[in-house]
Amino acid sequence: MTSPIDPQDAIPLATLRADLLARLAQPVTYDVAIIGGGATGLGVALDAAARGLKVVLVESHDFAKGTSSRATKLVHGGVRYLAQGNISLVREALHERSTLLRNAPHLAQPLPFVMPAYQWWEVPFYGAGLKAYDLLAGKAGLGPTEFLSRRETLKLLPGAQPAGLQGGVKYWDGQFDDARLALALARTAALKGALLVNYCAATDLLHEAGKVVGLICTDQETGNSHTLRAKCVINAAGVWVDELRQKDGQAIGREVKPMVAPSQGVHLVVDRSFFPGDHALLVPKTADGRVLFAVPWLGHVILGTTDTPRHDLAREPEAFKEEIDFILSEAAKYLVKAPARADVKSVWVGLRPLVKPQDDEGDNTKGLSREHTILISRSGLVTVTGGKWTTYRAMAEDVMEKCGNASLIKAILSEVTANLPLIGAGATEAPQHRISEPAGLHGYGSEQAAVQAMPGAPRLLGAGLTEAMVRFAARFEYARSVEDVLARRSRILFLDARLALELAPAVAAILEQETGLDPRLAEFRDLAQRYLLA
């Protein structure tokens, strides 16, 4: 499935840092200034820019360095929400699922799932729910839910435990490459005129007469600060939104109660030999009553996830031993070849920005919803958090609508991104490649030729990564460090931390040529150790 895109897609827009910083230094009053370059902030940046608004976004680290590179990689309605009876939520997410698959077919694709049943009642019980899931999707459905015999289940799930297996249910959802999707949002917003700068933290908010009128940001590479004025300031800092809300409260003399209660989710990545099929596996009820997935992704298998309350807000949260043991013991129940600690190639952890009920006196809480939350403070600071990756676009629309209603921007009601293909979505000669298969050029979609035109195209560094891809990342994809390339432009750190360590020196040498800066190799070596299980 391919869609047309702006002709500009053929010539990638350079992301030369000196140019970005020169633009940042200009005395401009923006319509919208966004803090945070994860799914939420980037979605809002694209929506606002597509409406013709003047947009700036600052991200303290790299785009998607936070939760948005650490998802289970599912573009889904959420079978769990269906079990909770949250019909409207599931319907919206299913609608968004098909929008995303249409607008970014190189980064988000349908994926068949199988739920194996080891109790006689599981097929009719869960099957009925999954049929309802399919019905709710309506025209946005990706394929029919099917009841499977024992033999059919084993055929679709090679590697699944045959002992006691009764049958199964097959249903459809989607999968994606989260960090590259974030980048596609950033670059598409830039094509629409937005200025986006990574490694630039919002260190303070600017207030005049009790209203927020902009922010102060600091370039993390030079330490230089800039004042950005904006009619509407949006706090999309994920689990870190409360830091900015506190600053806002202090400036206007109001006490602010924290709105986020973070919860962490751990993923383990193992070799495909543990689960060699091309269908994902859903465990509908683990020992602690959650769902667990085994998802084929970029030639490996992701196992996860957990749900553990966290009170600190680490940039690189670490898995607890119990979480790792839990995932491995659940996997052992369903897979013939059970992975052990030594088989784990990478472990990574994301923080969910779960939203506490709000009773902040003076805050406008009308925007509260169970999925995502939008709060507009007395000063006019707009905070948006919660929700999920799949619904980033609908969230962005909601933010724009609320900002319009609050007269922070001109009220414009029309949808602008529903039929807006993301960069790379244009027609390509190459056959569609599956995201479940090992990474390569296909993730670049219609930009493959532009990547191949870079110096070093034939030089393979390893794991599908070429010299040309590293150069492309530095010139057109905002990459500054070895981590940016190995964690988010390619996903090697998330797939195989040891291999990422091996490739790091070669990546560092190319990046240094491109940027003339220290590519932070030593820092990357320390980081990669955390993705390895000792």
Ligand X SMILES: Cc1cc2nc3c(=O)[nH]c(=O)nc-3n(C[C@H](O)[C@H](O)[C@H](O)COP(=O)(O)OP(=O)(O)OC[C@H]3O[C@@H](n4cnc5c(N)ncnc54)[C@H](O)[C@@H]3O)c2cc1C
- Does position 72 bind ligand X by CB under 6 A? yes
127 binds ligand X (CB under 6 A): no
Q: Which stretch binds ligand X (CB under 6 A): 11-19, 388-396, 508-516, 521-529?
A: 388-396
- 172-201 positions binding ligand X, by CB under 6 A: 201
Which residue of 47, 59, 242, 323 would you call a contact of ligand X, by CB under 6 A? 59
Separation CA 317–CA 352 (nearest Å): 11
Nearest-CA neighbor of 461 among 510, 412, 416?
510
Q: What are the angstrom distances between the C-alpha of 533 and each of 71, 306, 342, 391?
A: 19, 17, 7, 32
Degrees to nearest 5, angle at CA 240 with 234 and 241:
35
Say how far apart CA 365 and CA 369 lie, in whole Å. Answer: 9
Q: How far is the CB of 164 from ligand X (least distance, A)?
A: 29
77 part of the interface to ligand X, by CB under 6 A: no
Distances (CA, A) of 95 to 77, 154, 174, 399, 528: 8, 31, 12, 18, 37
CB of 506 to ligand X, least distance (A): 27
Regarding 38 and contact with ligand X (CB under 6 A), the answer is yes
Interface positions, 319-358, toward ligand X (CB under 6 A): 350-353
Cβ proximity to ligand X, 9 vs 219, nearer residue: 219
Bridge pairing between strands 29-35 and 74-75? unpaired
Q: Which of 24, 236, 301, 454 binds ligand X (CB under 6 A)?
A: 236
Among 12, 17, 31, 36, binds ligand X (CB under 6 A): 36
Q: Residues 113, 126, 133, 389: which binds ligand X (CB under 6 A)?
A: 389
Q: Between helices 521-530 and 497-515, what is the axis angle to 10°?
A: 160
Query: Could you tell me where the beta strands, DSSP code E, fall in 43-99?
Result: 55-58, 74-75
Verify binding: residue 388, ligand X, rule CB under 6 A.
Answer: yes
Only segment of 231-239, 247-255, 424-432, 436-444 that touches ligand X (CB under 6 A): 231-239
Four-CA torsion 61, 322, 354, 195, nearest 10 degrees: 10
Query: What's the Cα-to-Cα distance from 118 to each of 122, 126, 279, 330, 448, rounded to whole Å?
Result: 7, 12, 18, 14, 45
Q: Which stretch binds ligand X (CB under 6 A): 10-18, 39-47, 147-155, 415-423?
A: 39-47
- Residue from 109, 373, 377, 390 touching ligand X (CB under 6 A): that is 390
* 95 is a site residue for ligand X (CB under 6 A): no
CA atoms of 458 and 468, how far apart (whole Å): 8
- Type and span of the H or E element at 184: helix 178-191
Write the CB contacts of 188 (distance below 8 Å, at least 6 apart in sequence): 46, 420, 422, 423
35 counts as binding ligand X under rule CB under 6 A: yes
Q: Is 58 in the site for ligand X (CB under 6 A)?
A: yes
Nearer to ligand X, 240 or 465 (CB): 240
Query: Which position among 24, 39, 212, 495 is part of the footprint of ligand X (CB under 6 A)?
Result: 39
Burial of 120 (0-12, 13-18, 19+ CB in 10 A): exposed
Q: Judged by CB under 6 A, does residue 53 bind ligand X?
A: no
One of 37, 105, 129, 317 touching ligand X (CB under 6 A): 37
Q: Does the protein bind ligand X through residue 82 (CB under 6 A)?
A: no
CA 344 → CA 15, 273, 392, 495, distances in Å?
Answer: 36, 12, 31, 9
Instruction: Pick the stretch among 38-46, 98-106, 460-468, 488-496 that binds ligand X (CB under 6 A).
Output: 38-46
219 sits near ligand X (criterion: CB under 6 A) = no
360 within 8 A of 256, measured Cβ to Cβ: yes
Q: Does 248 bind ligand X (CB under 6 A)?
A: no
Task: With CB under 6 A as the rule, give the number of residues binding ligand X.
Answer: 37
Q: Given the complex with ligand X, which of 71 and 157 has the nearer CB atom?
A: 71
The least CB distance from residue 235 to ligand X, in Å, is 9
Stretches 63-71, 281-289, 407-415, 453-461: which one binds ligand X (CB under 6 A)? 63-71
CA atoms of 132 and 120, how far apart (whole Å)? 20
Counts for the chain of helices (H) and strands (E), in that order: 16, 20
Select from 12, 41, 110, 519 the one that contacts ligand X (CB under 6 A).
41
The site map against ligand X for 421-450 (x = CB under 6 A) is: ------------------------------
Which residues here bind ligand X, judged by CB under 6 A? 35-41, 58-61, 65-68, 70-74, 201-202, 236-238, 240, 265, 305, 350-353, 385, 387-390
